[in-house]
């Protein structure tokens, strides 16, 4: 019974990964850039007309878009705001994930992300949310 549980090759790879995380101080790096990531995301997107919430921990985060953020009213599902924003994000050079439930962009960048790369992602996200907002406004959805 090794196919899905504790195969020796997978266990060796996992141990090598843990060793690299320690040797390269990757977790310390995440502790350093995580607050920067969260602060940038919140500073740039909180208060946007269609952003209901920016949440996360470390370098994991999510941006939830809503028709009326103050009253926490979501968009109609057929508008696919998350999918549209993820497509705009891709056009702006960043691969983002539209989460399957709600209009949420989810982020899980590499643990070795730099502050410069964080800036690129945040700037592209702001531009993409703005693009989606303008399109929704033109359609009369907001």
Q: What is the mean pLDDT of each run of 10 residues along the chain (142 residues)?
A: 73 94 97 98 97 97 97 96 98 94 95 98 98 97 92
Q: What whole-number distance in Å separates Cα of residue 129 and Cα of residue 117?
A: 18
CB distance 54 to 139 below 8 Å:
no
Residue 77 lies in a domain: yes
Q: Specify the DSSP class assigned to residue 78.
A: G
Residue 22 lies in a domain: no
Residue 93 lies in a domain: yes
Q: Exposed/middle/buried for 4, CB within 10 Å: 0-12, 13-18, 19+?
A: exposed
CB distance 65 to 77 below 8 Å:
no
Whole-prediction pTM: 0.90
For residue 61, the cross-strand partners are 56, 107
| CATH at residue 98 | 3.90.1150.10
Secondary element (H or E) of residue 13 = helix 8-23
Q: In which domain, by residue range, is 84 found?
A: 33-139
Residue 3 lies in a domain: no
Residue 91 lies in a domain: yes
Residue 12 lies in a domain: no
Residue 97 lies in a domain: yes
Residue 8: per-residue pLDDT: 84
Residue 94 lies in a domain: yes
CB distance 86 to 97 below 8 Å:
yes
Domains: count for the chain: 1
Residue 141: per-residue pLDDT: 93
Residue 49: per-residue pLDDT: 98
């Amino acid at each position: 019974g090794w196919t899905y549980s504790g195969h020796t090759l997978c266990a060796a790879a996992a141990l090598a990964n843990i060793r690299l995380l320690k040797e390269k101080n990757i977790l310390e790096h995440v502790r350093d850039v995580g607050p920067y990531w969260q602060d940038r995301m919140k500073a740039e997107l909180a208060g946007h007309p269609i952003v209901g919430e920016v949440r996360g921990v470390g370098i994991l985060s999510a941006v939830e878009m809503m028709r009326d953020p103050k009253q926490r009213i979501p968009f109609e599902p057929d508008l696919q705001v998350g999918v549209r924003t993820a497509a705009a994000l891709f056009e702006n050079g960043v691969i983002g994930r539209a989460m399957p439930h709600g209009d949420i962009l989810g982020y899980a960048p590499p643990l070795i992300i730099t502050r410069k790369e964080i800036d690129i992602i945040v700037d592209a996200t702001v531009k993409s949310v703005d693009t989606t907002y303008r399109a929704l406004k033109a359609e009369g959805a907001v």
